[in-house]
A = this chain, B = another copy of it.
Amino acid sequence: MGNAAAERTYREVMTREAPAPATPFEAATRDFVFGEVWPRPGLSRRDRRWVTLTCVGAADAPEPIDEHVYAALNSGDMELEAMLEFVLHFAVYCGWPKASHIEGVIRRQWARIRQERGEEAGPLPVLDNAALGLNDWDERIRRGAEEFVDVNLIQAPRGETPYTHAGILNFVFGHVWQRPGLTRRERRIITVACVAIDDSPMPLRSHVGAALNSGDISKEEMDEIVLQFAAYYGFAKGEALGGTADAIWAERDR
């Protein structure tokens, strides 16, 4: 892809002019990341953004977070509500501290966008507690176990430990995965990127496997996720993610 096309992609994705590259890294950003990766078919720009936002949020380099959050909102690809829902899902899989940082960035970049557009940016309204879901604990745990099975395609753990009981059954599957605001497929894309960053072998295998075996993400889409992820989180972890997806797919074929 020529420079002009790469610069156009940069403009569309980042919602600002591409800087003239002054270093090999900047040249590769233009030629590889924006020239080769972002314009590929097979995955929507919104889906590529979920992968990218997860990567920059986890990498927690300040500027890339600012730039990609701004671009996601400013492009109109993501609504504010979806971005804030993303933060909660990201917190679960990449931890609270990085989520806290990216949430602050979303608020600041949103205020900046409103200001650039000459709009008022008041405080967000306090959320309704009814949105917190079931408060019959037995029912919540039961429903959490069901959701666990639906999402992971394996048996739910018995709630024998604080992690599985208060964590997995009550909160992660008893509430977070059931929330509106992001589709299950979007939650899968974000989760796949998170477990690829983590690269603990078991969660990596189980979430990539469930994404593929549920049919929510095709192998071709997963291959695109792998490349988008490798660009933003490196070819080392990219190889681990790609290898895991390939191994799961090969097993399925047998």
Contacts and interface: CB of A to CB of B under 8 A. Distances in A.
Interface of A: 3, 20-29, 31-33, 36-37, 40, 42, 55-56, 59-65, 84-85, 87-88, 91-101, 103-104, 123-127, 129-132, 135-138, 140-141, 158-168, 170-172, 175-176, 179, 181, 194-195, 198-204, 223-224, 226-227, 230-240, 242-243, 246
A40 B60 contact: no
B60 A24 contact: no
Q: Which of A3, A179, A223 has the most CB of B within 10 A?
A: A223
B97 A194 contact: yes
Contacts of A158: 123, 126
B92 A239 contact: no
Contacts of A200: 60, 97-98, 100-101, 199, 236-237, 239-240
Contacts of A232: 95-97, 234-236
A63 B36 CA distance: 26
A248 B1 CA distance: 32
13 contacts: A23-B226, A24-B40, A25-B238, A36-B171, A91-B167, A100-B200, A127-B159, A131-B165, A161-B227, A163-B242, A166-B176, A195-B236, A201-B240
